[in-house]
Amino acid sequence: MKIAVFGASGFVGRNVIETLKEANMEIIVSDIKEVKNGGVDFIKADLLNYNEVSKVVKGSDIVVHLAASPLPISIEKPKLNARINIEGTLNIMDAAREHGIDKIIFSSASSLVGDVKNNLVDERHPCSPKTPYAVAKYAIEHYLRVYQELYGLDYLVFRFFNIYGQYQYPESGGLIPMVYRKLTTEGSFNVFGDGSQTRDFVYVGDVAKFYLKAIKKDIKNEVVNLGTGKGATIKEVVKVSGEVLGIEPKINYLPLRAGEIGNFVADTGKLKKLFGSVPETELWDGLRETFEWLIGGK
Ligand SMILES: NC(=O)c1ccc[n+]([C@@H]2O[C@H](COP(=O)([O-])OP(=O)(O)OC[C@H]3O[C@@H](n4cnc5c(N)ncnc54)[C@H](O)[C@@H]3O)[C@@H](O)[C@H]2O)c1
């Protein structure tokens, strides 16, 4: 079985590729920017160029789509985000149709839910996306369903929660690498409100293992949360980070920002039902792995 991976130079992509390589899967990887992935066939492709995308997809059985223009840019440039994240994904889906691909695995975002009405958040929670980025993710979930119904293209959607781990750089704006940077440089971290908001932090090594399972198992035409089902408060993340790093963190409490959401944790019932398990790495262990990588000089 041959797997084509888009977004190969990104945070999750690099982890997924390592896991697929370890499992001796045959892979072809692609991104608009090249990062050395050690002995893996790489094709540079812009999602907006159909011919380039088609070359990557051709000859593959399953497509793993992890490429995207990120959330912060979508606020500045919503049209650019729509082009890359909607039109670019449609290019992959059309190429998948053209080449008779078995299944496309898409990385969606739990933020498409918008305001949380019922925590834990399951896949049937009402969705009211609050950013252009989340609108695009929501649109693609619907395009995938419609392509399945019209053309028989099978898919699997993973709705990601807060993923952290190696290859996530502080510049990405991800909470955990930012906590690392602040604690190691200033010994303190700014928290909005009282820091009691819970989030669902998922270690990227677990995410990569679920991609391997999704490739091997015949699970298709489903939207499924990829979270742990266990909430950790922001305050807890800072404290545990301090423990792992051997630093007593000073937490500065700032006023709550407008629009800050409260608790947001995955209901993992469907994930467990389909896959038989949920991501299991404990926060302390995941943070230790992540910080060792960050300390190692990236
Ligand atoms: N990291 C998270 O916590 C998280 C949460 C929710 C959803 N997601 C989604 O998961 C996927 C992977 O996330 P990530 O954190 O690895 O993102 P990332 O930004 O690290 O990687 C995305 C990759 O897409 C590539 N890309 C951007 N524009 C492109 C284009 N026009 N053509 C080809 N490639 C292009 C980038 O070069 C980058 O390597 C994305 O779809 C993201 O939206 C991530």
Q: Where are the domains of the chain?
A: 2-162+201-226, 165-199+230-295
From ligand 1's centre to the CA of 83, what distance in Å? Answer: 14
Kindly report the backbone phi and psi dihedral angles of residue 253, in degrees, each rounded to the nearest multiple of 5, phi listed first. -95, 120
List pLDDT tens digits, range 233-276: 999 999 999 999 999 999 999 998 877 888 999 999 999 999 99
Which protein residue has the closest C-alpha to ligand 1 atom 3?
163
- Model confidence pLDDT, tens digit, residues 169-212: 988 889 999 999 999 999 999 999 999 999 999 999 999 999 99
Query: What homologous superfamily does CATH list for 2-162+201-226?
Result: NAD(P)-binding Rossmann-like Domain (3.40.50.720)
Question: Rounded to the nearest whole angstrom, what is the distance from the C-alpha of residue 8 to the centroid of ligand 1?
Answer: 9
Residue 65: phi, psi to the nearest 5? -110, 105
Pocket test of ligand 1: the residue of 11, 49, 81 to mutate, having most ligand atoms within 8 Å of its CB, is 11
C-beta pairs of 29-33 under 8 Å, 24+ apart in sequence? 29/4, 29/5, 30/4, 30/5, 30/6, 30/56, 30/67, 31/6, 31/7, 31/67, 32/67, 33/9
Cβ of 163 below 6 Å from ligand 1? yes
Gyration radius of the chain's alpha carbons: 19
The reply to whether ligand 1 has any atom less than 6 angstroms from the CB of 32 is yes
Q: Report pTM.
A: 0.97
d(CA 169, CA 108): 20
Cα 36 to chain center, whole Å? 21
pLDDT-based confidence at residue 298 (cuts at 50, 70, 90): low
Residue nearest to atom 7 of ligand 1 (CA): 109
pLDDT of residue 262: 87
Residue 17 CA to residue 255 CA, distance in Å, equals: 41
CA atoms within 13 A on the CB side of 248: 0
173 lines ligand 1 (CB under 6 A): no
Atom 6, ligand 1: residue with shortest CA distance:
109
How high is the pLDDT of residue 261?
81
- Tell me which of 34, 79, 160 to substitute to probe ligand 1's pocket, judged by most ligand atoms within 8 Å of the beta carbon: 160
Q: What is the mean pLDDT of the chain?
A: 96
Contact assessment for residue 167 and residue 233, using Cβ atoms and an 8 Å cutoff: no
Interhelix angle 175-185/283-295, nearest 10 degrees: 60
The amino acid sitting at 92 is I
Question: 297 pLDDT exceeds 90?
Answer: no
What residues act catalytically?
Answer: 133
Assess if CATH 3.90.25.10 describes domain 165-199+230-295: yes
Say if ligand 1 is within 6 A of residue 249 CB: no
- Of all protein residues, the one whose alpha carbon is nearest to atom 42 of ligand 1 is 68
